[in-house]
Amino acid sequence: MSTSDTQHDDATPDLAARFDQALEQVSQASRFAKTLHTGKVLQLAGRLLCQPQGAEQLYQRATAIEHSGLFSGTDWAHPEILQADITVQTLRLGAPDDISLEALSELRLLAVAQGELPHDALSAEQAHHYLAQVLALNLDLLFETGGEAIRVRQGRMAVAVRGVLQLLVSRIGYDNIIDRLIEEIWRILAQRPVRVDHLKAMITQIAACLYNPSITLSNSRGADRLVSALFGPTQASVEDPGLEVYAERLQGMDNQALQQEASGFARAMHDTGLVSAYQPVFLRFAVSQSTDLVSAALGLSATGRDALLCYQDLVYALIKASVFPETAQAAYGLALMLERGVLFAPPVAPALWRQLGQTLSANADAAIVQALGDIRPAKVQLIAGVLGVLGLPLGVGQGNNPTCQSARAISMWAYNDPDYLLQMIVWATRDDDLVMHFEGQRLSSKELALTTPAIAPLDVDAVSAVLVPHLDRIYHAMGALCADRGDDPHRWINPEFHGWWVGRGFKLAVDLPTGHLSDYEAFVRYFYACYHPLHNGNQPLIYPQPVGLAVTDSAARFVGWHAITIQRVTLDQDDVMRVYFYNPNNDSGQDLGNGVKVSTEGRGERFGESSLPVAEFVSRLYIFHYDPLEHIDPAGVPAEDVAEVEALARGSWALER
């Protein structure tokens, strides 16, 4: 053993002891004084992580680290809202203390995932899912394929980062990590989110591993289709020749070859929900050739083709203004918007022409750049975002927004009232203002900004980036106006905020002052009588309706209240009556405990929908709206249906209510 090795081995116990002492100081400090002691803990953690077995030693202290309050006052204090894609920047470009804090957080989450550290806000499955994403996004650091530039930027912390990632893989399971990540990517893609940047980043990392001769993967099931969809979806792009070379190839193709290219792009796009950077190159070329090529490349049915032919000038203008390699997903949004027939609503086409000609305010421009970067001008990204939201209204994700109400509203308007959404986008991006009314009282987001600043969302689509701050202010102002009415404020907010089609009838499952269940049997009976086709005269749901869920974790413990939208109630292929709903979370596949697992595909779900059998859904419901003028018969709902729901509710969120 060399002298340096001896020094390392001798230093590690001493460092660990000093770390324990520093952590104890943080633990003993008052809430306001903790930050005075955290710097020393992070410095020692960074040094310890650079030592052999340092990550393992800190992992053994995960419980003490979590309970010390080290994460208090930081983004890491709420692990349930952490975004895995943010770790990419932190682990590569972060200051040493930030890297140390990120590493300690991941080791803490590993303890949660392994069942060694129970956490009130995070289940073991959620922690495992998050860490799998972290590994997927940082495979180059794990396999040391990131290049010298990254190692130079990381400095001495490169060793620390790799040690933590290796520990994560060793505990989660190195052999099947790639397969599990691929399955996870396919599962999320099945929900057709508007934003897929993080998924594309994962696929890029997986591709680098697949084609690196120094890395041996035992199994890569499903990876080839994802990689080819991004980097080689057609015969002329199969070897990923580069955009300039591909553009040159198009110039020399005959009509049959071009048709084959178009079909390849459409097949890959509709199969995966991903758009290759080569497809915008083809579409921009096809616009100068023929409508047939454009239609084929977008994979349009008769409905979409009719819309394209009726509004060809507008569609071509949208392609030229927004479909670039950097905004490739706009092509998928455009295709689905045409398929939905949105352009046949008289106000939509002129509203889109206005959007094409509009100049953005400085604030709107800055909001889009802050959320999405400056890979293309903000106006380009906004038009691309509009196409994405109108094409995939159930793919709007709230990410780390402060509320889920605004994301739900944007989705509902894109689905049900697209011309109103386009009008709101103009107000927000031209005037820096939204004006809505609450029971006749005017509410201006610009005026409210003087007293109610809103947090700018960073992990959302362009439409959400410009609208959410305005909508959040108005939503909170509406809440303040009815806060003293002695009932849940959503009774009055939802119809005023979302639209006239929201039912004015309202049912609440809990008594607000006590938090206990309140006339729960009537609550269940009313829902069945209003929404269940076998109890409401087989009346289908005409307009999506906002409702509130009592969200539980995989152990059926209450987590919090959440805003979603009921889309429809109908039988699945196995004749099970299910509620199909929109959840503004970026990932809607959740285990709510006691066998209640949300389905996102395979049970008749349309893209972006989640579903549950009616009884399971109602067991997690706490508010809903209905039309009080409709004839309903709550007394006719069978007692056994009510009992089934009540048992599920009392075994989960209502356990102590």
- How far apart, in whole angstroms, are the C-alpha atoms of residue 587 and residue 398? 10
More confident residue, 549 or 183: 549
In whole angstroms, how far apart are CA 228 and each of 140, 265, 269, 325?
Answer: 20, 11, 11, 16
Q: Which residue has the tokens 């305010």?
A: 361
- How far apart, in whole angstroms, are the C-alpha atoms of residue 490 and residue 503? 12
Q: Which residue has the tokens 């994460």?
A: 71
For 115-140, what is each residue's pLDDT tens digit? Answer: 999 998 888 888 988 898 888 788 77
Q: What are phi and psi of 500, to 5 degrees?
A: -65, -20
In whole angstroms, how far apart are CA 418 and each of 343, 435, 486, 497, 616?
Answer: 10, 17, 34, 15, 32
What is the enclosing helix (H) or strand (E) of 277?
none
For 610-653, what is each residue's pLDDT tens digit? Answer: 999 999 999 999 999 999 999 999 999 999 999 999 999 999 99
Residue 46 buriedness (CB in 10 A; 0-12 / 13-18 / 19+): buried
Q: What is the mean pLDDT of the chain?
A: 90
For 199-229, what is each residue's pLDDT tens digit? Answer: 898 888 788 777 767 666 655 667 889 999 9
More confident residue, 80 or 325: 325
Q: Is the pLDDT of residue 586 over 80?
A: no
- How far apart, in whole angstroms, are the C-alpha atoms of residue 27 and residue 45? 15
- How far apart, in whole angstroms, are the C-alpha atoms of residue 604 and residue 613? 12
The HSE-up count of residue 563 (CA atoms within 13 Å, CB side) is: 23
pLDDT of residue 6: 35
Q: Is the pLDDT of residue 2 over 50?
A: no
CA angle 446, 451, 457 (to 5 degrees): 65
The residues facing 477 across adjacent strands are: none
The HSE-up count of residue 388 (CA atoms within 13 Å, CB side) is: 28
Q: Give me 650's structure tokens.
A: 């009392």
- How far apart, in whole angstroms, are the C-alpha atoms of residue 416 and residue 538? 22
Residues in CB range of 73: below 8 A, 6 or more apart:
34, 35
Q: Which residue has the tokens 């130079």?
A: 152
| pLDDT > 70 in the chain, percent | 93
Q: How far is CA 487 from the centre of its chain?
A: 31
Pick from 250, 256, 313: nearest CA to 281: 250
Q: Is the dihedral of CA 400, 403, 408, 414 positive or negative?
A: negative
What's this model's pTM, rounded to 2 decimal places? Answer: 0.81
For 440-457, what is each residue's pLDDT tens digit? Answer: 999 999 999 988 777 778
The 3-state DSSP class for residue 572 equals coil
Q: Is the pLDDT of residue 375 over 60?
A: yes
CA angle 128, 563, 600 (to 5 degrees): 50
pLDDT of residue 150: 63
Q: Is the pLDDT of residue 320 over 90?
A: yes
pLDDT of residue 35: 78
Q: Give me 579's structure tokens.
A: 């509620």
331 neighbors 275 (Cβ within 8 angstroms): yes
Cα distance from N-terminal residue to C-terminal residue, the chain: 63
pLDDT of residue 9: 41
- pLDDT bucket at 173, cuts 50 / 70 / 90: low
pLDDT of residue 73: 84
- pLDDT bucket at 585, cuts 50 / 70 / 90: confident
CA angle 365, 366, 367 (to 5 degrees): 95
In whole angstroms, how far apart are CA 354 and each of 331, 357, 424, 462?
Answer: 20, 5, 13, 17
- How far apart, in whole angstroms, are the C-alpha atoms of residue 198 and residue 186? 13
Q: What is the mean pLDDT of residues 293-310?
A: 98
Radius of gyration of the chain (CA): 26
Q: Are strands 505-508 and 609-613 parallel, antiparallel or unpaired?
A: unpaired
Among 182-196, 309-323, 358-372, the minimum mean pLDDT is found in 182-196
- pLDDT bucket at 4, cuts 50 / 70 / 90: very low
Q: What is the mean pLDDT of residues 264-271?
A: 98
How would you write 100-148 as a 3-class SS string?
A: HHHHHHHHHHHHHHCCCCCECCECHHHHHHHHHHHHHHCHHHHCCCCCH
- How far apart, in whole angstroms, are the C-alpha atoms of residue 228 and residue 238? 7
- How far apart, in whole angstroms, are the C-alpha atoms of residue 389 and residue 384? 9
Q: Is the pLDDT of residue 398 over 90?
A: no
Among 215-219, 227-231, 510-514, 602-606, the minimum mean pLDDT is found in 215-219
Q: Is the pLDDT of residue 523 over 90?
A: yes
Q: How far is CA 105 from the centre of its chain?
A: 21
The 3-state DSSP class for residue 324 equals coil
| pLDDT > 90 in the chain, percent | 69
For 270-282, what is each residue's pLDDT tens digit? Answer: 999 999 999 999 9
Domain coordinates in residue numbering, the chain: 3-174, 245-343, 345-481, 505-650
Q: Is the pLDDT of residue 70 over 70?
A: yes
Most confident of 320-329, 444-453, 504-513: 320-329
For 29-59, what is each residue's pLDDT tens digit? Answer: 887 777 788 999 999 999 999 988 899 999 9
Pick from 201, 289, 245: nearest CA to 237: 245
Q: How far is CA 603 from the centre of its chain?
A: 21
